[in-house]
A and B are shown apart, each in its own frame.
Chain A
Amino acid sequence: AQSVTQLGSHVSVSEGALVLLRCNYSSSVPPYLFWYVQYPNQGLQLLLKYTTGATLVKGINGFEAEFKKSETSFHLTKPSAHMSDAAEYFCAVIITNTGNQFYFGTGTSLTVIP
């Protein structure tokens, strides 16, 4: 069963425009949720995470995400895209009653148009 779904394998935005990358998860228990970024020929770097507490979490480079339990979503946003934001973004989840495995989405490639 797919635990994480990222809608849109490719997203293009203009420089300065809003970035919205979508992530939905499936879990019957409260999950831990993550967004990672991957720049070309690099490993994955944590952008932000939600484990408990405040549902709006802020990460590095101006990104933020909101955990919405009712919508089983954890969408990533940034108010104003920069050229340096062009990268691959992965949503990931830990289903807390199934051990410590990460389940990754298939990734969204973000292109920023000057």
Chain B
Amino acid sequence: DAGITQSPRYKITETGRQVTLMCHQTWSHSYMFWYRQDLGHGLRLIYYSAAADITDKGEVPDGYVVSRSKTENFPLTLESATRSQTSVYFCASRETKGARGQHEAFFGQGTRLTVV
């Protein structure tokens, strides 16, 4: 199916463990983003990527690592999970150039991560 999918939808992990959240989009959009959603903060940008092998920090990057070896995938890794990283994580993609260029971002369904 076309679109943007995140996995897993729900994850419980222990403090100190490494966990990777997956994001896959089928449109070949150039830009991809990771946000976290917390009550009272709205959505905050963690990392974004303008193209394969190009990534950059957002507003709250500490404790997270990203990679983008292929255009369609943008995994987010918590190297050593902490309770403060309990949140809902959203992946998004966007194309800004050419005939497919548009301005809005398309979001995945989210991953609810709980760190215990």
Contact = CB atoms under 8 A, between A and B. Distances in A.
Given A100-B50, A100-B94, A105 B104 contact: no
Interface stretch (B11-19, B41-49, B74-82): B41-49
A30 to B, nearest CB: 12
Given A34-B104, A104-B42, A106-B41, A44 B90 contact: yes
A26 B103 CA distance: 19
Interface string B77-94: 000000000000010101
Contacts of A102: 33, 43, 45, 92, 105
Given A101-B58, A102-B33, A46 B40 contact: no
A44 B103 contact: no
B5 to A, nearest CB: 10
The SS class assigned to the B binding surface is: strand
Interface residues of B, number: 24
Interface residues of A, number: 22
Nearest to A32: B103
Given A43-B110, A100-B31, A101-B58, A106 B104 contact: no
Interface of B: 31, 33, 35, 40-45, 48, 50, 58, 90, 92, 94, 96, 103-110
Interface of A: 6, 9, 32, 34, 36, 41-46, 49, 51, 90, 94, 100-102, 104-107
Given A43-B110, A46-B106, A90-B42, 8 more contacts: A32-B103, A42-B109, A43-B107, A49-B104, A100-B96, A101-B58, A105-B42, A106-B40
